[in-house]
Amino acid sequence: MTGPVSDTVDALVVGIDGVIGRALAARLAAGGTAVTGTSRRVGAPRAGVIPLDLAEPPDRWVLPARIGTAWLLAGVTAQAACRTDPTSTGRINVTHTVALAQRLAAAGAFVVFASTNLVLDGSRPRQPADSPLRPLGAYGAQKAAAEEGLRTLADAAAVVRLSKVLAPDFVLIRRWVEDLRAGRPVTPFSDLMLAPTSLDFAVEALVRVGRARRGGVYQVSAADELSYADLAHGVARRMAVDPGLVRPTTSVASGIVLDALPRHATMDASRLEQDLSLPPPPPEAALDACLTPDERQPGGGKDG
């Protein structure tokens, strides 16, 4: 159980226990905004958190009567789960997500929906926001379907397509750091591309889109892309460890069938730059933000 739902909420973070939701709520609160969050983790009452499970029928949801801005960040984010259980994940990520967005908009909210570069086919770099939706995997297909559903809200909703967001606790990088520090080799994929932004950058973009209250699609992407092998080399350089410990392989050679293996990961982020003064950062900035000062060695850290 949680406390009673306030009638009026200025900022609602749907999915406050997720990586991005937690960081967004902290950023809004630090800027003086009163934040309410939703969580499916029901237990002891938590101030400012109301229960909401997207797997439940919408008539069970209890929402504030008036909402200023709602960031819709909750959903099943594990690509394998979307592939293996498309029915229940589709209910959460598409049908109920769109139903929730409609309820939020009916309560007066401007809705900011987090989508992904995986709604696009990655056939060329810096894919424009108005490219046809051609998702490569089940997760991307669900996000694309949700985007389509949100179009009925017109200017009451903005879609923010995020490329990979590198949070400081990103498991893969943490594991590489541990292995490289211990002198163990790492085997990153050279055929999987990403155009990463830092968690702080992605959160700033979400905040500015929420403040601007203009509908349509925004794309949040690094200016250039890297492979996971490039990323691991970047980690090794910053730690000033033997670069020979990075032994790239491919997903194909490893026998791993990925849900989506787009050729390119960058998206055209010019709307974010022009309308909201956030130019796309270099991908290395996201990596820098992931390493602690004592992981970055003096003399390490020069790219290319």
Applying CB under 6 A, which residues contact ligand NAP? Answer: 15, 17-21, 40-41, 52-55, 73-77, 92, 114, 116, 162, 164-165
CA proximity to 129, closest of 276, 277, 268, 224 = 268
Q: Kindly compute the dihedral angle of the four CA atoms of residues 74, 224, 262, 185, in this order, to the nearest 10 degrees.
A: -90
Contact 169, 199 (CB under 8 A): no
DSSP string, 187-221: --BSS-EE--EEHHHHHHHHHHHHHHT--EEEEE-
> What is the DSSP pairing of strand 197-198 with strand 216-220?
unpaired
CA proximity to 280, closest of 225, 224, 223 = 223
Q: CB of residue 84 vs ligand NAP: minimum separation in angstroms?
A: 15
Q: CB of residue 15 vs ligand NAP: minimum separation in angstroms?
A: 4
Closest to ligand NAP by CB, 92 or 186: 92
Distance CA 273, CA 260 (A): 28
Q: CB of residue 243 vs ligand NAP: minimum separation in angstroms?
A: 26
Closest to ligand NAP by CB, 146 or 245: 146
Distance CA 17, CA 170 (A): 16
Distances (CA, A) of 147 to 132, 282, 295: 12, 27, 39
Closest to ligand NAP by CB, 49 or 162: 162
Please identify the residue of the shown chain whose CB is closest to the bound ligand NAP. 18
Q: CB of residue 245 vs ligand NAP: minimum separation in angstroms?
A: 26
Q: CB of residue 55 vs ligand NAP: minimum separation in angstroms?
A: 4
Contact 109, 68 (CB under 8 A): yes
Closest to ligand NAP by CB, 49 or 156: 49
Q: CB of residue 92 vs ligand NAP: minimum separation in angstroms?
A: 5
Distance CA 34, CA 192 (A): 40
Closest to ligand NAP by CB, 10 or 17: 17
Closest to ligand NAP by CB, 160 or 186: 160
Distance CA 291, CA 75 (A): 28
Q: CB of residue 114 vs ligand NAP: minimum separation in angstroms?
A: 3
DSSP string, 129-182: TTSPP--SSHHHHHHHHHHHHHGGGGGGEEEEEE--EE-TT-HHHHHHHHHHHT
Contact 73, 20 (CB under 8 A): yes
Q: CB of residue 254 vs ligand NAP: minimum separation in angstroms?
A: 22
Closest to ligand NAP by CB, 205 or 232: 205
Closest to ligand NAP by CB, 76 or 229: 76
